[in-house]
Amino acid sequence: MRSRILIFVLSLLTFTVGTSAQTPSELETDPKGWIDILPNASFKGWVRAALPPGKALDPVTQWKVDRATRTLLCEGDRGHEWLRYGRELTNFIVHVEWRLTKKQGLKGYNSGVIVRTSPDSSVWHQAQIGAENDAYLFGGKFINSEVQGLKFSPRPKENRIKPAGEWNTYEVRCEGPRITLWVNGAVTSEDENPDLLKGYLGLEAEGFRIEFRNLKLKVLPQN
């Protein structure tokens, strides 16, 4: 009997140690002061911008809004670009829920939440979106349409990304000289030396079908 109790206690301790601590999102912690920034059908206040800057945009949009489900859909079939929110920001938190469309045999899922990026996209910061351990921050510059000076935060020790076909939640906090990425219950990445302290936010299209919902913005005090 004692041996069974001991085995049970040890297994409980193993489970407790192996289970990551969960922290609530900023939206859950303090639901006041958030702005709903999900685009409407006309995309008023949002602008499509090419990546790299200067590249011609496909004349046909790959973005649309489903009013019934209040979901923003990117088909991912019209080239590399981003959908830019039309307000420059310094200190803020953006809450984004996203789901990649799963396709059998498809690999390399890719998208991103873009923050503190210059109007012409020449300098950018991004929270990477993928189907594996991709919850990290990175940034860089475009010089003569070539990527320069890439800076990557370390990949998280634990994969908190749910697989393609399931909803994930990101919150990116930009405050002073720090960008922090929270994913599905925990902070996964930090950048304490961003190239810009002010810029635009947006969502990336990079060849994969992805849905977004519950796009919320909270503007923080401007220190």
Query: Which domains are assigned to the chain?
Result: 25-219 (2.60.120.560)
What is the chain's percent helix, strand, coil content, to nearest 5?
Answer: 10, 40, 50
Contact 96, 215 (CB under 8 A): yes
Percentage of the chain modeled with pLDDT above 90: 82
Nearest to residue 142, comparing CAs of 121, 164, 111? Answer: 121
How high is the pLDDT of residue 221?
A: 94
How high is the pLDDT of residue 161?
A: 97
How high is the pLDDT of residue 20?
A: 62
Stretches where the chain sits below pLDDT 70 are: 1-20
How high is the pLDDT of residue 143?
A: 83
Q: Is omega for the bond preceding 52 within 30 degrees of 0, making it cis?
A: yes
How high is the pLDDT of residue 144?
A: 79
CA–CA separation, 66 vs 52, rounded Å?
28
